[in-house]
Amino acid sequence: MSLRQSFTSGVVWMSVGIWVEQAFNFIVFAILARLLGVEAFGLLAMAAAFVLFSEFLVRESISDILLTHEELSPDRLNSVFWLLAVLGGVLTALLFLGAGPVAWFYGEALAGDLLVGLSPTVMMIALTAVPVAILRREMLFRVLALRAVVGAVIGGIVGITMALSGYGVWALVGQRLATTATNIVMAWGAVSWRPAFSISRDHIREVLKFGHRIIGLRAAELAAVQSPAVIIGALMGPTQAGFYAIAWRVVEITSFLLITPFRTVAQPAFGAMAREGGEASSLLIDLMRLTGFAAFPAFAGLAVLSEPILVLLFGQKWIPAAPVLSLMSIFGMYLCIEKVQQTFCLAAGQAGRLAALSWVEVLLATGAIAIASPYGLTVVTASFVAVFLIIWPLKFGNLASIAEQSTLTLVQLHFVPLILAVVMAVAVQGVVISLGGWPQVVVLLLGTITGVVIYVLLAFLFQRDRFHLLMLMIRPRAEPHEAGTTPNKIEG
């Protein structure tokens, strides 16, 4: 199978797995939101911010070196595994020790207890990162897709059962632990490699040299999306943190569905193209075209229809989160494009400048949130989003330098889909205004239909190259490309 065909097959499997997983997760999420209420989600978001930060550092960090290096020797695998085991153990211990200070910081004793309850997932994920990297490198995405779906189902059953049994916010902890444990069993069951104590100092040094840059990037990436929950919880209380958490969760799921299949498959594909002497920038441009084509209209529609979506999914008590969701939808557009950019930089082994820019975003966003907190949650969210939009051009410049492309060329890829998405959103907003007083389900249904019809028509008129590219991704050419050649690039 050619690299292009392997890429397409991987995207298909990951798309199916992720969409099924997230569909089930979203149903569970909606049920738990109705059963548990705003404060429970706010408390969990406040505690989970620290756990998610630690999980991110061990999930796709040091193990990413296994996606780019030409040789997977036992010593290299062992070195990565034991470094992650040590890192996971240290982070888990820090979470246990930090439970008291976290409870004091928030003024909520339960936040510290939740931190302790969630902390084992860090070590669990650290011990599974190498098998997952092996599956990604070998492009065995069918296994990863099934793993995600089964984990979501088992975790959802546990969470709902605990919520109905009166466990309150601890149902969310049980859901997370059950999902992670299932993922561990399925990942290790799919690979034949097992760790040993044969490691190499040279490999350790090489992994550490690679790892400190990518850990810095991953830390900045997660700090960017988790620091708002921490600051809002500390300065504005768990209820406001709950409204922010629900809006962010909707944006996170939407972006996950749109971009994760491409991002997950793209990094090993970029690495494989580089090993074969191909030009990875051609695949980068194709992915950026598809990402903007899908992400801009999806989030533009989400921004306009935020209130009926929240009411229908979670109930009337979540209406105050609607303005936050509308603003966070703009961040969702940024997030999808940035994920593709990040994947290319990681595959090229050049994460240093991107990590520095990401930490600038975190520091500026933290300051903006703290300054804006007296003015309400909507102003806080607007300030947060504005910081990322200001720094975004610098990230395009960094990507252009690595991909040896013009910055303007990369930016222009998104002009047309953005304009068409804005036109679509204006039309949908007109429908929402004209239906004032109608049931929310009618507003959502007619608004969605209007948006889809208008965008498809506009895209057919002005973005036919994207349709052609999408068809090529779905139905790749049968002829395998010889090693050392570049897959055909779509012009236009």
pLDDT, greater one: 269 or 386: 386
pLDDT, greater one: 318 or 29: 318
Q: What is the pLDDT at residue 93?
A: 94
Torsion from C-alpha of 174, 15, 483, 136, nearest 10 degrees: 0
Residue 337 lies in a domain: yes
**What tens digit of pLDDT does each residue of 330-382 get?**
999 998 898 888 878 777 767 778 888 888 988 999 999 999 989 999 999 99
Instruction: Give 363-381 as a DSSP string.
Output: HHHHHHHHHHGGG-HHHHH
Residue 143 lies in a domain: yes
Assess whether pLDDT exceeds 50 at residue 262: yes
**What tens digit of pLDDT does each residue of 59-114 get?**
766 776 676 655 677 877 888 888 889 989 999 999 999 999 988 888 888 888 99
The whole-number average pLDDT for the span 241-256 is: 86
- Residue 49 CA to residue 41 CA, distance in Å, equals 12
Closest listed residue to residue 262, CA positions, set 470, 34, 421, 462: 470
Joined together, the tokens standing for residue 138 give 């070998």
Residue 484 lies in a domain: no
- Residue 293 CA to residue 262 CA, distance in Å, equals 13
Assess whether pLDDT exceeds 70 at residue 476: no
Range in 166-170, 208-212, 275-279, 438-442 with the lowest mean pLDDT: 275-279
Residue 73 lies in a domain: yes
Q: What is the pLDDT at residue 388?
A: 92
Is residue 469 very low, low, confident or very high in pLDDT (cuts 50, 70, 90)? confident
Q: What is the pLDDT at residue 417?
A: 92
pLDDT, greater one: 309 or 226: 309
Please work out, in degrees rounded to the nearest 5, the angle formed at the alpha carbon of residue 434 by the alpha carbons of 429 and 440: 80
Assess whether pLDDT exceeds 70 at residue 10: no
Assess whether pLDDT exceeds 50 at residue 482: no
- How many CB atoms neighbour CB 478 within 10 A? 7
Torsion from C-alpha of 293, 297, 303, 306, nearest 10 degrees: -120
Percent of the chain clearing pLDDT 90 (strictly above): 28
Is residue 484 very low, low, confident or very high in pLDDT (cuts 50, 70, 90)? very low
Residue 480 lies in a domain: no
Q: What is the pLDDT at residue 54?
A: 83
The whole-number average pLDDT for the span 301-306 is: 94
Residue 8 lies in a domain: yes
Is residue 491 very low, low, confident or very high in pLDDT (cuts 50, 70, 90)? very low
Cβ contact 359:373 at 8 Å: no
Q: What is the pLDDT at residue 478?
A: 45
The whole-number average pLDDT for the span 1-9 is: 53
Residue 481 lies in a domain: no
19: buried, middle or exposed (CB in 10 Å: 19+, 13-18, 0-12)?
Answer: middle
Backbone angles phi, psi at 207, to 5 degrees: -65, -40
For residue 17, give its domain range.
Answer: 3-474
**What tens digit of pLDDT does each residue of 80-91 get?**
888 889 989 999
The whole-number average pLDDT for the span 33-41 is: 77
The 8 Å CB, 24+ separation contacts for 159-165 are 159/28, 159/32, 160/28, 160/31, 160/32, 160/35, 163/31, 163/32, 163/35, 163/36, 164/35
**What tens digit of pLDDT does each residue of 146-189 get?**
888 888 889 999 999 998 988 888 998 999 999 999 989 998 98
Q: What is the pLDDT at residue 91?
A: 92
The whole-number average pLDDT for the span 473-477 is: 54
Range in 113-122, 178-187, 268-277 with the lowest mean pLDDT: 268-277
Q: What is the pLDDT at residue 265?
A: 58
Assess whether pLDDT exceeds 50 at residue 485: no
Residue 71 lies in a domain: yes
Assess whether pLDDT exceeds 50 at residue 451: yes
Cβ contact 268:137 at 8 Å: yes
Cβ contact 304:428 at 8 Å: yes
b (16+ CB within 10 A) / e for 169-192? bbbbbbbbbbbbbbbbebbeebbe
Q: What is the pLDDT at residue 56?
A: 76
DSSP 3-state percent helix, strand, coil across the chain (nearest 5): 85, 0, 15
Total structural domains in the chain?
Answer: 1
- Whether the pTM exceeds 0.85: the reply is no
